[in-house]
Amino acid sequence: MCTVTYLPTGPDQFLFTSNRDESPSRRASSIQQVTSGKKQLLFPQDSLAKGTWIAFSDHNQLVCILNGAFIKHHHTPPYRLSRGIMALEFFDYENATDFRQNFAFTGMEPFTMVIYDQGSLFDLRWDEQKLHFSELAPDQPHLWSSPTLYDSSWQEKRQLWFKHWREQQQAYNSSSILQFHQTAGEGNPAYDLVMNRANIVRTTSITHIAKETDRAQLRYQTILTNEVSEHELGIRVEA
């Protein structure tokens, strides 16, 4: 997995959307709202590993996981910890810097983690040898595609689709970016945003988070059954 977009809509406001590309047999259960330490979390839960690929907390933090760092790697388990469990463990740390400096990445399968942390946006990648950490402009749009499924040429094409879509928008809104995540491509089911490779790997769901100043709304749509659920989490305002 997967394909992810970030669109700023105002100061500390954004639209964040993730297409999950996975085996259709690996389902997600209902949206979970749980307490982790002092934080309330909202996320879709993977039914197998009990982790997640995207989560938001009431401390104005979001993490999203994509498989792979820069290039397709060899899958050689066992690994120390599921990447989906790691996504939840992120919220045990105070912030992105604390996580980067203190989490034990050795033994993890390669991944890309997109982090929104109280107004700052980061790209963190682990390639099994080295940690790569960069700060991104939160007032600019961004797109990520998992390198385990999309090589550099297809990643570039997807960036172009995203660029062309943005040029046609007067303002960003949830309905238009969801339409992009549902329809963008060239008619090639193996590489379009809603993808299907012989039903072995396919887009199984679309998760959309609309972040406002004081709350976040999460919309979860399963592609196989076309069920939609919506949830809201208030953001804690520190005194």
Q: What is the pTM of this model?
A: 0.96
Task: Give me the pLDDT at residue 37, please.
Answer: 82
7 has pLDDT over 60: yes
Helix 152-167 crosses helix 174-183 at what angle (to 10 degrees)? 140
Report residue 238's pLDDT band, with 50, 70 and 90 as the boundaries: low
Task: Give me the pLDDT at residue 1, please.
Answer: 66
161 has pLDDT over 90: yes
Per-residue buried b or exposed e for 67-85, using 16+ beta carbons within 10 Å of the residue's own CB: bbbeeebeeeeeeebbbbe
Q: What is the pLDDT of residues 67-122, one digit of tens each?
A: 999 999 988 889 999 999 999 999 999 999 999 999 999 999 999 999 999 999 99
Task: Give me the pLDDT at residue 121, please.
Answer: 98
Q: Which domains does the chain have, with CATH numbers?
A: 3-234 (3.60.60.10)
CA distances from 17 to 48, 79, 226 (A): 22, 28, 16
Q: Which two tokens stand for residue 34?
A: 């749980």
Look-up: residue for tokens 């994509």?
66
Report residue 239's pLDDT band, with 50, 70 and 90 as the boundaries: very low
